Amino acid sequence: MKIAILSRNKKLYSTRRLVEAAESRGHEVIVLDHLRCYMNITSMRPSIRYKGEKQEGFDAVIPRIGASVTFYGTAVLRQFEMMGVYPLNESVAISRSRDKLRSVQLLARKGIGLPVTGFARSPDDIDDLLTSVGGNKFVIKLLEGTQGIGVVLAENHKAAESVIEAFLGLKANILVQEFIEEAGGADIRCLVVDGKVVAAMKRQGKEGEFRSNLHRGGSANIVKITPEERSTAVRAARIMGLNVAGVDLLRSNHGPVVMEVNSSPGLEGIETATGKDVAGMIIQCIEKHAPAGKTRTVGKG
């Protein structure tokens, strides 16, 4: 097969591993920087050009689109889809997963366990919103934050109110969640590929930090997950319409709750912590589904 990887940088661990895994299985791989792809949107003959050359003949495309370039990246991916190229994750599913509010609404609709979550726009409604979310401590999140930046812990109702007022004053969209204190600054990252959890790790925030993100200094270790955690992760990926997803769970007193579903999960942390060949499993997923041209997802449209 001829596979395109949309990635800003060939040297990134995840990109390198996907190239290696695809080539070792006999595929031709080309890494395209999605910000250098440009498009001719003509009826019936959509095309993509890259640094002066027309790009053709791809069987599959692996999107590795960073959060800061979701808009342009998903437009490029959509163009590949219009050309009939099989996307590992579809553009609509990626857009969905990038919006934390939209994601929790979709997951809630299907009964997935979530931290109690609130959303409001007017400062006048914050007091009542916090009361309805309940508890003393609150986590406040920027809707499009990533890598733990834009996630704040407020230790009480008053502190939460002032943080939220400040965010709203800056015209930022935020959501408020109950603080799952019993998670102890740790979360579980489940790597779902093609409807299965193929690897899982526990990430622990550094001392005194409630955020477990590796970018914030957290550490990762292999973990054994429960059947309930496994099925929650698999269902969450399916609901979002993602063939490959990093589903982040918190261990709460009332069972696993989903915090976030990531559509371009990094491979370095999880492969290192678990010793699993996740890149190889991703390529196998493409081999299985690309020839039929059908994704298992519910995207499209």
Give me the residues that bind ligand ADP (CB under 6 A), please: 115, 139, 141, 145-148, 151, 177, 179-180, 183, 187, 205, 210-213, 248, 250, 259-260
> Which residue, 103 or 295, has its beta carbon nearer to ligand ADP?
103
Near Mg ion by CB under 5 A, which window of 88-96, 109-117, 258-266, 280-288? 258-266
Backbone angles phi, psi at 143, to 5 degrees: -60, -35
> Which residue, 87 or 148, has its beta carbon nearer to ligand ADP?
148
Taking CB within 5 to 8 Å according to partner kind, which of Mg ion, ligand ADP, none is near residue 80? none
> Which residue, 90 or 187, has its beta carbon nearer to ligand ADP?
187
Nearest distance, CB of residue 26 and ligand ADP, angstroms: 36
- Per CB under 5 A, 260 contacts Mg ion: yes
Taking CB within 5 to 8 Å according to partner kind, which of Mg ion, ligand ADP, none is near residue 177? ligand ADP
Asked if 6 contacts 65 with a C-beta cutoff of 8 angstroms, the reply is yes
Report the C-alpha gap between 175 and 269 in whole angstroms: 27
Q: Which residue is nearest to Mg ion (CB)?
A: 260
The size of the interface with Mg ion (CB under 5 A), counted in residues, is 1
Strands 28-32 and 2-6: parallel
Report the C-alpha gap between 20 and 22 in whole angstroms: 6
Report the C-alpha gap between 135 and 42 in whole angstroms: 54
Backbone angles phi, psi at 63, to 5 degrees: -85, 130
Residues 6 or more apart whose Cβ sits within 8 Å of residue 149: 142
> Which residue, 10 or 206, has its beta carbon nearer to ligand ADP?
206
Report the C-alpha gap between 271 and 278 in whole angstroms: 7
Taking CB within 5 to 8 Å according to partner kind, which of ligand ADP, Mg ion, none is near residue 86? none
